[in-house]
Structure 1
Amino acid sequence: MPIRHHAPGRGRRLVAALTATAALAALSGCGAADMTRQSSPYAAARGAKTVTLSVQSWVGAQANTAVAAYLLEHELGYRVDTVQVDEVPAWDALSQGRVDAILEDWGHPEQEKRYVEDKKTVVPGGELGVTGHIGWFVPTYFAEAHPDVTDWRNLDKYAGELRTAESRGKGQLLDGSPSYVTNDKALVKNLDLDFEVVFAGSEAAQITQIKQFTKERKPFLTYWYQPQWLFERVPLTEVKLPAYEEGCDAEPSEVACGYPHTPLRKFLNTRFAREGGEAAAFLKEFRWTVEEQNEVALMIAEEKLPPQEAAKAWVERNEQVWKPWVA
């Protein structure tokens, strides 16, 4: 999920019945704080077995944090706090030691240069093991009925069918949260498409809309991303945008290319990486697959399990996966 590079991204809140606030409060026995308003009392606490993890709003990131928090608490004996903060502010919090780690970053080169290269207050924590990709998608039933819709050059042909009350007489391109990494407004303008970007407001709201369209077998065009558990429930087909080339998204207002495939990475506060002992070593080793992340995400989003219970269920079934992380 969803990250924000120039303006997601994704970059990714729970489905309607499970609000992000409730989910985050359940991520650990210690509760969660909103980093936009306060600091965690546990971050960078010297001489104490405490860890503070940043958690983003999309469910895949919540799955990462839930499993990491559960293992830190139950296998390594740490007190874990989780804090919700948008992607770019999370880098500021990490640099200042208000959080110790970000477990799913979708690519923020400006922040990486500032904090990793220049200030040296943040260090890479290795890859998460999951590759992320943002794109435009239509429901597979619509793509099968109209195969040419999967080429962006033909989208205007279907603008009338994709029009909604919110799209101001144009076809609708449904986005999630405006805080996510998205080049969609620039893409619509620079590709001269007869579409309007409409923000649902959150991952949860976007999923609700997608599910409603699907139930009614209506056509829709949506910004979406992989990995994401919804693909297991709603078959979606990607629309081919102009090929991504290195640097084609360097100037936000001029973007006319698709999105890259991004190996998702972890980042740690520099002092925590140096002094964080078993916790820091564990977070560097934490690495799993798309399928493993989606297994936990599905339990949270579809089965409505609190994140801590979903993490417990996954940990109990997958000792062979996580045991090397805590060795």
Structure 2
Amino acid sequence: MKKLVQSTGLAAILALTGSMAFAEDSTDAIKIPTHNWSSQIVGAHIVGKLLEKTGATVEYVSTDSQVVYTAACEGDVHLVHEVWEGAFGVAFQKVVDEGCVVDAATHDAKTREEWWYPSYVEEICPGLPAWDALNACAEKFATAETSPKGRFLGGPVDWLKHDAERVEALDLNFEVVNAGSAAALWAELESAAKRKEPIVLFNWTPNFIEALYEGKFVEFPEFDAKCKDDPSWGTNKDMTYDCGNPKDGYLKIAAWKEFPTKWPKAYAVLQKINFTNMDVAVQAKLADIDNMEPAQAADKWLADNESRWKAWIDPAS
């Protein structure tokens, strides 16, 4: 009887794995979101072209970078290939916990998203990169819009960086002004750098900016998960966000919960896609410096990295 049960169980497993091996992907289009920064848009097209190599049909959908997690939960988009821990970790984890989105993979890339300044600013504001040096020279960062407070130029509002909460919690004499896009951030940086004017703005790594400008991140109190929801943690016992962002944040791939069963071949490839810091920086450079259209930039990256992605789409690997 024991051998019969074991044999029956083995047969069931073989039948299951056999059906998985030969399962066909749905002919429905895989909807891939595009956001408002260059590496993500180029990377989305790289992912799309890789999935097309499995026979999938792909559709690109312009989507708010916070709303996208609700959209993925509801199956309105089917993957998010660039989940930055600092900006989107909370929204991502919420839908994973709800069971409607799966944590498909983690890239090798390590991320950091923080206040940043070009190196010459240290001569204007001694004490940097320590965060508490900012108040002593806040007026030097002031603009007509923020005077007498300094201006921190943040990313688009939908990146949800909680900069205003941090300013209040750390009692910084700064006002947050949000740029409309990544391109607007870089235009302001270029203008200030040419005139050696003080500027502190949102930046991140990996990014092509670090190849163009010497600079440093502001060093805020060390990040801890309690900083986001426990006011008693940290220097300010009454408020949250009295800390910096993670210094070695993850970059993940998220997928709609039905993705693995609806497109099993495509999902197997999705789980193997793995970008490094250099990959993400190059993807941004191809668009922002080389002025390539997303599809053209994706083709360039694929041509330069053929040996890597061929292993990703090879079922035997």
Cα deviation, 1:42-100, whole Å, max 9, x if unaligned, reads xxxx8316321122211121122121112223x32322111121123111211221111
Structure 1: distance between partners of 2:168 and 2:66: 25
**Which ranges of structure 1 fall in alignment gaps of 5 or more residues?**
1-45
Residue 274 (structure 1) aligned with residue 252 (structure 2): no
Is the 8 Å Cα contact of residues 63 and 293 (structure 1) preserved in structure 2?
no
Task: Describe the shift of the 1:114–1:242 C-alpha distance in structure 2 as closer, same or farther (beyond 3 A).
Answer: closer
2:75 corresponds to which letter in structure 1?
G
- SS of the aligned residue for 1:160 comes to helix
1:195 partner amino acid = F
Q: Which amino acid aligns with 1:97?
A: G
Q: Which has the higher helix share?
A: 2
Amino acid in structure 2 at the alignment position of 1:324:
A
Q: How many pairs align?
A: 280
Structure 1 position 202, deviation (Å): 1.7
* 1:117 match: 97
Aligned-partner SS, 1:81 = strand
1:99 paired residue number? 77
Q: Which residue of 2 aligns with 1:241?
A: 220
1:85 maps to a residue whose letter is T
The residue aligned with 2:184 is 205
For residues 202 and 258 of structure 2, the distance between their equivalents in structure 1, rounded to whole angstroms, comes to: 37
**Residue 176 (structure 1) aligned with residue 155 (structure 2):** yes
Query: Residue 106 of structure 2 aligns with which residue?
Result: 127
Q: Which has the larger radius of gyration?
A: 2
What is the match of residue 263 of structure 1?
Answer: 250
Aligned residue for 1:130, secondary structure, equals: coil
**TM-score, length-scaled by structure 2:** 0.82
Q: Distance in 1 between matches of 2:65 and 2:54?
A: 27
Given the superposition, is the C-alpha separation of residues 164 and 97 from structure 1 closer, same or farther in structure 2, using an over 3 Å criterion?
same
Asked whether the 8 Å contact 2:78–2:256 carries over to 1, the reply is yes
Contact 1:142 / 1:219 at 8 angstroms: preserved in 2? yes
Query: Alignment partner of 2:175: what SS?
Result: strand
Kept after mapping to 2: 8 A contact 1:300/1:306: yes
Structure 2 unaligned segments of length 5 or more: list them.
1-24, 232-238
Q: Cα RMSD (Å) of the superposition?
A: 2.0
| Partner deviation per Cα, 1:257-278 (whole Å, 9 max, x = no partner) | 1111321111111111222122
Cα distance in 2, alignment partners of residues 203 and 121 from structure 1: 30
Residue 198 (structure 2) aligned to one of 214, 219, 223: 219
Aligned residues of 2:125 and 2:133 also touching (Cα < 8 A): no
Deviations 1:106-126 (A, max 9, x none): 2445544553233x2211111
